Structure 1
Amino acid sequence: HEAIDGVDFIVSDQSYSSLARLVKKSGVDTIIHSFLVLSTASTPSRSLHEINVIGTMNLLAAAGQSSSKVNKIVVKSSSLIYGSSFRDPSFFTETTPRSSKPKTEVESSLIEAESYIQEFAEDNPYVDLCVLRFPNVLGPTIESDLSQALIKGVAPVVFGFDPLLQFVHEDEVLRVIDFVMSDSISGVFNVASPDRCPWSRVYGKAKATPLIIPPFFTAQATALYRALGIAKVPSELVDLLTYGRGIDSQKLAKLGYKYLYSTEEAVDKFAEYASSLRGRAVPKPLASIANP
């Protein structure tokens, strides 16, 4: 990490097992939990559960201990929690139930992690707890399965489908976190500009070549693409690129939040960046996540 005045960087294991001691020793009053893994592409199921579920449980236990001064927790979650299915509504609100059972370990882990977060919020009403559900995040310092494919100049496309998607720019993520930190805001919030963009327009703007995924034998096709180093397309991403997803963020807007970028503008900004990297060494991202 680069040195930042007034900031101490402390290395912890991925399950946050040492966090209780750190919270007690430092006397921190705010925790931002942004370490949830959102892809099965490069994280084994056991590690994914340890990070998302056990890590969240340890974080909440640390924040809720008797000596804790924590009064604000912000969790960066994902719209992946809603899944993607042909039965889905056009837009999910924060209370809309899934229209299908979770199909992947990452979806199950998010649901379980958020269930513990909800229990903590009910048991600790003095703590302002915000859960922010973001769609796909794009930006030069964020690594995701989709963004890395676009930077390579390829776009996974499920044959016969052109789903509508939402995107937020990485600057928007920081801006929203700052917004909910500035007041006594708590609850679960979808975070996305209301407009959606066809996937074909997204990869067209990025000048990426379609990488066709057959609607049948998809696992074999995606395994081949991964083995060849072309693209990582986990099953949750295949579902997204088949059916799309829309989230309704009116709840956040009613609190006065105004978006810096629309979906289209976030895509334009990233597409320009991705196109500029063709033929050059890709800089190492500051954050490695995956945002289906």
Structure 2
Amino acid sequence: MGKVVLVTGVARHLGARFVAEIRRRLDVDLVVGVDVQPPRDPVVDPPGPVADYRFERLDLRRPAVARVIAEYQVDTVVHLNVSATGLGPAGRSAVKESNVIGTMQLLGACQKAPGLRRLVVKSTTGVYGSAPRDPAVFAERMQPKNLPSGGFAKDAAEVEGYVRGFARRRPDVAVSVLRFANIVGPLADTPLCEYFTLPVLPTVLGHDPRLQFVHEDDAIEVLCRAALEPARGTTNAGTFNVAGEGVLLLSQCARRLGRPTVPMLQPVIGWVAGLVRQTRLADFSPEQLRLLTHGRVVDTTRLRETFGYVPAFTTAEAFGDFAAAQRAGLLPPERLTAVTDRLAALLGPEHAPGPGPGPGHPTRPDRTDRTAQELKPR
């Protein structure tokens, strides 16, 4: 059998898109998708010659992933199952366990796979943190001023540590760690995209942070190139920052979206962020709040000169494509309904919408009815 690629996290949007794209590459014979649940949208064969596809429903925290790697004789693993989203019913602790323990199990299975030749891990520029004394631009070899104390960024930092240990034990495997800036696009489903879909954007008073974005099309292309043989004169092994050229201020993002901003003191916006998380409007985590306070910018020289890829979209163009796909005004009806239901549950049963009047539920006369009764001649 020729090249076999195993992809984790295929139930999410980015994983599903990557599977569809990597199957079009001529030197790929089989793609094996792995996740705890099947993709929301059925897998449709793209036009033209494509690689075969198999889906294996399993939890990376279980040892069964080693069986899958051995059964299909996998030579390339693309690990996309490091999630930033903690809004699910299982909560943040289960997401962390899936991110870290799942990665440890996957690396253990890779360690025992003699035929493995390439490992690609999706990470985040969040490992650099966001702090007031940060450098203007982070390069790959620079350490954060303050290590991430929690959330997705801490998970990603731990995952990178385990990946570095794997690379030392298996020097015969080409290991790529891709630190993506915030991914945006018409269909992107990241926590920061959820923030930008709020009808009003809460911001930190006195701060207008610099932000970087990468278009989902560029993210998919970088992942594909990392999973395949590098072009002549380049290498795809190592750690690379991935972001579109240029920066945007948060205020510029709000203007492009046509959304009003509400500057708040930090204690107040922390309370608002908690309410937003409880109502499941967005995953407004403390680390995202730090990003929206201090910002973060990374250097992409290695991506261009060593990896050999120049993103097709600048930061401004990537965000513009995301903004063009957004609905103006309030939330979509289905999200608005979910939010009101959640608020009613948080406030208590007395605030929940009750049944309309019917038998056994006499209506109370409104003020107009009482006034009319008072004016009747006695």
Give the number of aligned pairs: 282
Give the distance between the partners of 2:287 and 2:174, measured in 1 at CA. Answer: 31
Q: Who wins on radius of gyration, i.e. which is larger?
A: 2
The equivalences for 1:98-177 within 5 A come to 98-177=144-223
Give 1:271's aligned residue.
Answer: 323
Question: In structure 2, what residue type is equivalent to 1:3?
Answer: V
Name structure 1 gaps, 5 residues minimum.
284-292
Matched, 1:197 2:197: no
Q: 1:86-117, CA deviations, whole angstroms, 9 ceiling, x for partnerless residues?
A: 11001111110110132224332221111110
Name structure 2 gaps, 5 residues minimum.
1-38, 46-51, 336-378
Give 2:288's aligned residue.
Answer: 237
Q: Is the 8 A contact 2:182 2:214 kept in 1?
A: yes
Matched, 1:258 2:310: yes
Matched, 1:78 2:124: yes
Q: Is the 8 A contact 2:194 2:281 kept in 1?
A: no
Q: Is the 8 A contact 1:194 1:248 kept in 2?
A: no
Give 1:29's aligned residue.
Answer: 75
Which stretch of the first structure deviates more once superposed, 101-110 or 253-262? 101-110
Which stretch of the first structure deviates more once superposed, 41-50 or 6-15? 41-50
Q: What TM-score comes out, normalization by structure 1 length?
A: 0.88
Q: What TM-score comes out, normalization by structure 2 length?
A: 0.69
Secondary structure of 2:123's partner? strand
Alpha-carbon deviation of 1:46?
Answer: 2.7
Matched, 1:3 2:50: no
Alpha-carbon deviation of 1:213?
Answer: 3.9
Give 2:138's aligned residue.
Answer: 92
Give 1:52's aligned residue.
Answer: 99
Q: Is the 8 A contact 1:93 1:247 kept in 2?
A: yes
Question: In structure 1, what residue type is equivalent to 2:180?
Answer: F
Alpha-carbon deviation of 1:75?
Answer: 0.7
Alpha-carbon deviation of 1:84?
Answer: 0.2
Q: Is the 8 A contact 2:84 2:191 kept in 1?
A: no
Question: In structure 2, what residue type is equivalent to 1:260?
Answer: A
Give the distance between the partners of 2:296 and 2:71, measured in 1 at CA. Answer: 42
Alpha-carbon deviation of 1:169?
Answer: 0.9
Which one scores higher on RCO, CA 8 angstroms, separation ≥ 6?
A: 1
Secondary structure of 2:176's partner? strand
Matched, 1:178 2:221: no
Secondary structure of 1:89's partner? coil
Alpha-carbon deviation of 1:160?
Answer: 1.5
Q: Is the 8 A contact 1:153 1:207 kept in 2?
A: no
Q: Is the 8 A contact 2:184 2:193 kept in 1?
A: yes
Q: 1:215 aligns with which of 266, 272, 287?
A: 266
